[in-house]
């Protein structure tokens, strides 16, 4: 049993349960920037009642792979991404 008031948090996190997330358009920044390449998909994303974000994996459905994404820096010493690159 969930503590009182936590059901909304669970519902908001698992709002895609039972849906084909591969068919849903992304509302993320990368897809926003690329909206001119797929205007119909971006219009569909704007009509969603809840947010859906592909996290830079626009070529795959959300959460399609358990593999950690490739993260690299071309600098000799990265300050901001130091912990991410480790």
Predicted confidence at residue 15, as pLDDT, reads: 61
Number of other CB atoms surrounding residue 20 within 10 Å = 8
Q: Which long-range contacts (CB under 8 A, 24 or more apart) does 23-30 make?
A: 24/48, 24/52, 24/61, 24/62, 25/52, 26/52, 26/53, 26/54, 26/58, 26/62, 27/51, 27/52, 27/53, 28/53, 28/54, 28/55, 28/56, 30/54, 30/56, 30/58
What is the mean predicted confidence (pLDDT) over 48-66? 63
Comparing 44 with 7, the larger pLDDT belongs to 44
Predicted confidence at residue 59, as pLDDT, reads: 58
Predicted confidence at residue 2, as pLDDT, reads: 47
pLDDT one-digit tens code per residue, 12-40: 555 666 666 666 777 877 778 778 888 88
């Amino acid at each position: 049993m969930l503590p009182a008031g936590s059901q909304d948090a669970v519902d908001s996190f698992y709002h895609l349960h039972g849906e084909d997330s591969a068919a849903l358009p992304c509302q993320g920044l990368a897809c926003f920037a690329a909206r001119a390449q797929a205007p119909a998909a971006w219009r569909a994303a704007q009509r969603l009642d809840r947010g859906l974000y592909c996290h830079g994996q626009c070529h795959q459905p959300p959460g399609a792979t358990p593999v950690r994404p490739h993260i690299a820096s071309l600098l000799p010493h990265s300050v901001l991404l130091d912990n991410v690159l480790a």
